[in-house]
Structure 1
Amino acid sequence: MFFFRGVKRWAGILSKNLLAAGLIIILLFMYAFTAGASEPDVTAPAALLLEPETGSVLYEKNAGKEHPPASLTKMMTVLLGIEALEAGEIKLKDRVTASSYASSMGGSQIFIEEGDILSVEELLKAIMVASANDASVVLAEAKAGDCSVFIEKMNERAEELGLDNTHFKTVNGLPHENQYTTAEDMARLARELVKYPKVMDWSQIWTKTLELADREAMIVNTNRMINSYSGLDGLKTGYTRDAGFNLVATASRDNMRLISVVLGAENESNRSESTAALLDYGFENYRLEKVLAAEEVLKDLSLKNSAPENVKGTPGSNLYALVEKGDTTEIDYELELDKNVEFPVEAGESIGTIYSLVEGEPVYEAELEAENRIEKAGILMRILRWFRNLFL
C-alpha cells in the first residue's frame, strides 16, 4: 500500500514539473516572438520609418519636431530639377556656366570655379553623390535665373506636397536662422523623389569622375551605407554643427521598399546604427502584398447609366496591402463605383475607387479607371433598366 502511495506522489510531482517546464518553454517562445517584434533601438533624437507604396508609418520618434535639414534640403533642389527635366524645361545635356556666387560656396563641394561649364546631368550627380553646395547653386541659377526665385519655388512645392513644417531659405542647406523641417516631412519628400529611376541611379553611385573644362573632379558618395547595408540604394545625407548628422535612407528587399529618416544623430556611426535599426525592424516584421496589378482588367462592372451596361476597369496603379510577417489574415479588395460619372468617359479616366482590405477593413486605395471609352445609355435604355430593377 505504501508503495502505491509513493508512486502516486512521485507521479504527481513529476506531472507538476513537466507542466512547469512546458509553461517555461511557452513563455520563452512568447518572449522570443515579442523580442523579434520590439521597436528598433534608435538613439537619434528624431526618426521615422515609412513604407512608401501605402504611405504606412511603421515607426516614429519626435517625427513632428522641427529640426535643421542641413543637406537634406538638396532633395527638394533635385526634385525641382528632375521635374523640370520631365516637363521638358531643361535637358540633361544642357550646358550651364557657373557664376561667381556659385564658386563662393563652402562646405561640401566639387570646387567649381567661376566660368566653369557643366551639364545638368553632372550637376545633379554632384548634388546626389557628393552633396555639392556649389553644384546646387549652379542648378538653381540655371533653372530659375536666381537662387531667391528658386527658393520660392522650393517652398511652393513643399506646400503642394503637404510639408507643413518645412521652410527653405537656401538651395543647399547651409545654415540659416529660419530654415527647418521634420522627419515626417522629409519622409514625404523622399517618397516623391524615389519615384524617379534616374534619381535612384544617381544616389547609389559610389565614385564618379566629372569632366570639367580644364580638369577632372572625383566625387565620392557621402552615404557610406550604400556599400554596407544590403539593398540600400539612397538617398541623402546632411550635416551641419547645428543639425547634427542627418540621413534619409531607402532600401529595397523582397519587393518592398522602405524609407528611413534620422535627424540630429551625434555622429556618423550613430546615424548609421539608427538607420540600420529602423530598416532592420521594417524588413524583419512586415511584408508588402500586391492585391491587384495595375494592368489587371476587371470585367462586368455595373456602372450607372453606362452603355454598355457592364464595363471594364483597371486599377490606376498597383493595389497593395502592408501586413505583419506571419500574419495569416485574409487580404481582399472591394470596388466603389462612382454614381455620378459624367459621360462620355475616356479610357484611363476615373470611374471609382478600389480598396484593399485587411480583415475587412480598407487599408489602401487606388483609382478605378475605365479600360475603354464609355458612352451614356440612351433615355429609352435607362427607362427599361429602371423598370427591370423594380423586380430584381
Structure 2
Amino acid sequence: MALLLVLALAFPQAILRAPDPAPSLAAGISAEAWLIYDDSYDLEIASFRADRPAPMASTTKLMTALLVVENADLDDEVSISRRAQATGHKQIYARQGETWAVGELLEAVMVVSANDAAVALAEHVGGSVGEFVELMNERASELGLNDTSYANPHGLDAGGQYTSARDLLTLAREVMTHSTLASMALRQEALLVRGDGTAQRRESTNELLSWFPGAIGVKTGWTTGAGDVLVAAAERDGRRLYAVVMGSTDANADASRLLEYGFTVFGTAERRLVPLMEDRRLARALRATLSEDVVARLAHLRGLDKREEAPWE
C-alpha cells in the first residue's frame, strides 16, 4: 500500500491511464458493432458503433423469453399450432397438435434457439404472433430500448426488426435478473420432454459455455442478414462482464477477445488505487493532476459521485 501511495503521487497519469481499446483491441474484432461492459461496476469499458441499429437474429428470443417468464406459468400446457410447426431453420420439430409445457419450450428457446418453440410461446402468451410482437415492442419501450423494433418472436430476417449492441446489453441484463432464464442461459445441453413423455437431448448453441473460463450465457444468433450475433456473459472472482457483438464473422472469437480484455487488462490499476481515495489529502492531490475521465472512472469504481463527496472537491 505504501508503495502504491508513493507511485500514485509521483506518477498518477502513468498508473491510472486507461488502456486504449483502439486500435489494438478493435483491430482484432470482426464485428460491425460491439460493446464490453463491467456489470459489477456498472461501467462501459469500450464500444464501437454500439448505438447503431442492425438485424439481431435469434437474440430476438431474449425478449420472447422475458415476456414468457413475466406472463406465463412454466407448467402451463401449450398446444402446437400449424404455424409453429411450419417455422423453419432451428427447430425442436414440434408437431401440430402436440402438447408441450411452457418450461420445456422456454428451455428450447434459450438453449437450442428453437424457432418453432418461440412461435408456440408467442401464441400462448399473446394469443397470436402479431399481438405478441406488439407486447415485445411495448416491453422494449418500457426498458428504454430506443434503437429496437421487433417484427417476429424468433429473429429470422424481417423488415422492421433491428436493435443495437447497447440495447441488447440492457435486455440481456434484465433477462439475467430472472433465475429461471439465467439458469437456462448457463446450460450446455437440454433434455426436452414432450407432453407424451418422449424426449430429445440437444446441445446449446452457445459454444463459449464449453470452453471460455467463467462463461454463464447468454444468447446466440445468426442469419444471412444479421451475420453472427452474440450476447456473452462471464464471471470471474465475483466480477461479471458482458460482451455484445453484432454483424460478426466469428462471434465466439470476438466475444472471447472482448471478455478477456475486460478481465485481464482494463481497470487493474484503478481497482488497486481506489482504496487510497479514502485519504483526503491523496484524493485531492490526485484530483488536481488527473484528467477528468480518470477521475470519473475512479469515482465510479469507488461508488461515489465526485461532485458530492468531499475528498473529490
Same fold per TM (> 0.5)?
yes
1:358 Cα deviation from its structure 2 partner: 5.9
Alpha-carbon contact 1:330-1:359 (below 8 Å) kept? no
**Residue 272 of structure 2: aligned partner:** 326
Counting aligned pairs with the same residue, the percent is 35
Q: What one-letter code is carried by the residue in structure 1 that aligns with 2:272?
A: G
**Residue 246 of structure 2: aligned partner:** 263
Residue deviations 1:279-336, cap 9 Å, x none?
Answer: 1111113569xxxxxxxxxxxxxxxxxxxxxxxxxxxxxxxxxx8343345456xxxx
Task: From the superposition, tell whether residues 215 and 358 of structure 1 become closer, same or farther in structure 2 (CA, over 3 Å).
Answer: closer
For residues 1-392 of structure 1, the aligned pairs below 5 Å read 37-39=19-21, 40=25, 41-84=28-71, 90-212=72-194, 213=196, 215-266=198-249, 270-286=250-266, 324-328=270-274, 330=276, 362=305
CA distance in 1, matches of 2:306, 2:93: 49
Task: From the superposition, tell whether residues 159 and 364 of structure 1 become closer, same or farther in structure 2 (CA, over 3 Å).
Answer: farther
Residue deviations 1:233-258, cap 9 Å, x none?
Answer: 10000000010000000111111111
5+ residue gaps, structure 1, are: 1-29, 85-89, 289-322, 333-355, 366-392
CA distance in 1, matches of 2:142, 2:129: 20
1:140 Cα deviation from its structure 2 partner: 1.0
1:161 Cα deviation from its structure 2 partner: 0.8
Task: From the superposition, tell whether residues 364 and 261 of structure 1 become closer, same or farther in structure 2 (CA, over 3 Å).
Answer: farther
1:60 Cα deviation from its structure 2 partner: 0.3
Residue deviations 1:74-129, cap 9 Å, x none?
Answer: 00001111222xxxxx3211111111110000111101110111111101100000
Task: From the superposition, tell whether residues 360 and 153 of structure 1 become closer, same or farther in structure 2 (CA, over 3 Å).
Answer: closer
1:42 Cα deviation from its structure 2 partner: 2.1
1:222 Cα deviation from its structure 2 partner: 0.2
> Number of residues paired by the alignment?
269
1:363 Cα deviation from its structure 2 partner: 7.2
Q: What one-letter code is carried by the residue in structure 1 that aligns with 2:243?
A: S
Task: From the superposition, tell whether residues 125 and 160 of structure 1 become closer, same or farther in structure 2 (CA, over 3 Å).
Answer: same
Alpha-carbon contact 2:271-2:301 (below 8 Å) kept? no
CA distance in 2, matches of 1:359, 1:56: 12
Alpha-carbon contact 1:331-1:358 (below 8 Å) kept? no
Task: From the superposition, tell whether residues 241 and 357 of structure 1 become closer, same or farther in structure 2 (CA, over 3 Å).
Answer: closer
DSSP 3-state at the match of 2:44: strand
Normalised TM-score (structure 2): 0.79
DSSP 3-state at the match of 1:64: coil
DSSP 3-state at the match of 1:222: coil
Greater RCO, CA 8 A, separation 6+: 2
Task: From the superposition, tell whether residues 357 and 106 of structure 1 become closer, same or farther in structure 2 (CA, over 3 Å).
Answer: closer
DSSP 3-state at the match of 1:327: helix
1:54 Cα deviation from its structure 2 partner: 4.4
CA distance in 2, matches of 1:280, 1:324: 17
1:52 Cα deviation from its structure 2 partner: 2.7
Alpha-carbon contact 2:274-2:302 (below 8 Å) kept? no
Q: RMSD across aligned C-alpha pairs, in angstroms?
A: 2.6
Task: From the superposition, tell whether residues 187 and 357 of structure 1 become closer, same or farther in structure 2 (CA, over 3 Å).
Answer: closer
Task: From the superposition, tell whether residues 324 and 193 of structure 1 become closer, same or farther in structure 2 (CA, over 3 Å).
Answer: farther
CA distance in 2, matches of 1:215, 1:113: 13
Alpha-carbon contact 2:186-2:216 (below 8 Å) kept? yes
1:357 Cα deviation from its structure 2 partner: 6.3
Task: From the superposition, tell whether residues 154 and 49 of structure 1 become closer, same or farther in structure 2 (CA, over 3 Å).
Answer: same
Alpha-carbon contact 1:209-1:219 (below 8 Å) kept? yes
1:63 Cα deviation from its structure 2 partner: 0.6
Task: From the superposition, tell whether residues 177 and 284 of structure 1 become closer, same or farther in structure 2 (CA, over 3 Å).
Answer: same
CA distance in 1, matches of 2:307, 2:113: 35
Alpha-carbon contact 1:140-1:150 (below 8 Å) kept? yes
DSSP 3-state at the match of 2:147: coil
Decide which structure has greater strand share: 1
